[in-house]
Amino acid sequence: MYAVYLKPAAERALEKVKDDTARRRIVKAIDGLTTNPRPPGAIAIQGGDGLLRIRAGDYRILYTVNDDGLTALVVTIGHRRGHRPRRLLECVACSESPCSSQCAMRNRRSSCASR
């Protein structure tokens, strides 16, 4: 089983979801990542260097999976209508947005999600 963690931004986004039904769907989808971190509907984000996206009703959940540590990290949650995944991506190597100047992956286009 995988351990699932939420970044603070994802926690805040989940708290902002007003519709109880939608919130339950999101929580159910996140809980499902513990048993299957790559469900059939998961889509890899282009240029996201390992970021995956799943849908829960009208919401998108962006997350990464670490198979070595058996963990999944939910990066953000957003409504499909106003959610812009490319703006919300962080560098997977340094966890900053935009990628910090000290990041070893800054000049490597394929390794830094924020480039």
Closest CA to 113 of 47, 35, 27, 46: 47
pLDDT for 23-41, tens place per residue? 999 999 999 999 999 999 9
| pLDDT tops 60 at residue 50 | yes
Q: Does any domain span residue 109?
A: no
Which amino acid is located at 30 in the chain?
I
The residue that leads in pLDDT, 27 or 94, is 27
| pLDDT tops 90 at residue 90 | no
Q: Does any domain span residue 27?
A: yes
Q: What's the CATH number where 12 sits?
A: 3.30.2310.20
Q: Does any domain span residue 97?
A: no
pTM, entire model? 0.71
Residue that is written with structure tokens 């007003």 in the block: 18
Q: Does any domain span residue 94?
A: no
Q: Does any domain span residue 7?
A: yes
Residue 74: which domain range? 3-83
What separation, in Å, do the N-terminal and C-terminal C-alpha atoms of the chain show? 32
Q: CA–CA separation, 56 vs 98, rounded Å?
A: 27
**Residues whose CB falls within 8 Å of the CB of residue 59, separated by 6 or more in sequence, listed in order:** 17, 22, 25, 26, 77, 78, 79, 80, 83
Report the domain count for the chain. 1
> Is 59 strand, coil or helix?
strand
| Predicted local distance difference test score (pLDDT) of residue 115 | 40
Q: Does any domain span residue 112?
A: no
